[in-house]
Amino acid sequence: MSKVSIYLNFQCQAEQAMNFYKQVFNSEFSAPMSFIRDMPAQPGAPSLPEKELNAVMHVALPILGSVEIMASDMLESMGHQVKIGNNTTINLTIDTREEADRLYKALSEGGPESDKAPMHDEFWGYWGCCLDKYGIRWMFNVMNEAYS
C-alpha cells in the first residue's frame, strides 16, 4: 500500500531526537531503531569509524493521523553534513517499481545531477532519491517483502 512520510536526517542525533519525538507524540516506533552496525556488509564499501557504527540507520514513528516521521544519521566520514535543504525529505513508499521509476523520472527532471541517487536495488528494496528543480528532496522506496 502506497504512503507518504517525512524523512529526517541528523548528524549523530537521530536516536536522541526520535526518542524525544516519541515522548512528545506519545507514540511507539513502527519500525525498530536499527543502527549502521546492523547493516549487511556492502561490497566495496569503506570501513567506518567506530563512533559511526552506533549511528542510526533507520527508525520510523507515527505522529498524528496517518503521518509518520522516519530518520537516520548522516555519516561525516562519508562527507555527509546536515544542512538546511538535506535535513528533510518527502519519502514515497510505492507499490511498484514502474510507478517508482515514473515518479523518479518526473521529479528528478530539471533537478541538479549532483543530488540524484538513481533508482537501484538495496537490501531493503528498490530505492532512489533526488532534489527536484524547486529544491525539494524526494525519496522513493519499493520495499522487499521482508521489510514491508
How many other CB atoms are there within 10 angstroms of residue 16's CB atom?
11
- Same structural domain for residues 109 and 78? no
Q: Which domain holds residue 137?
A: 94-148
- Same structural domain for residues 66 and 112? no
pTM beyond 0.85: the answer is no
- Same structural domain for residues 13 and 73? yes
Q: What is the tally of structural domains in the chain? A: 2
- Same structural domain for residues 144 and 78? no
- Same structural domain for residues 140 and 98? yes
Quote the pLDDT of residue 22: 94
Mean pLDDT across the chain = 89
Convert the pLDDT of each residue in 75-92 to its tens digit: 887 777 787 777 888 999
52-76 average pLDDT score: 90
The rounded distance, in Å, linking the Cα atoms of 58 and 74 is 11
Quote the pLDDT of residue 148: 63
Quote the pLDDT of residue 94: 92
Q: Strand pairing of 68-73 and 56-62? A: antiparallel
- Same structural domain for residues 74 and 21? yes
Instruction: Report residue 41's pLDDT band, with 50, 70 and 90 as the boundaries.
Output: confident
Q: Residue 135 maps to which CATH number? A: 3.30.720.110
44-64 average pLDDT score: 87
- Same structural domain for residues 87 and 115? no
- Same structural domain for residues 16 and 69? yes
Chain-centre distance for alpha carbon 84: 16
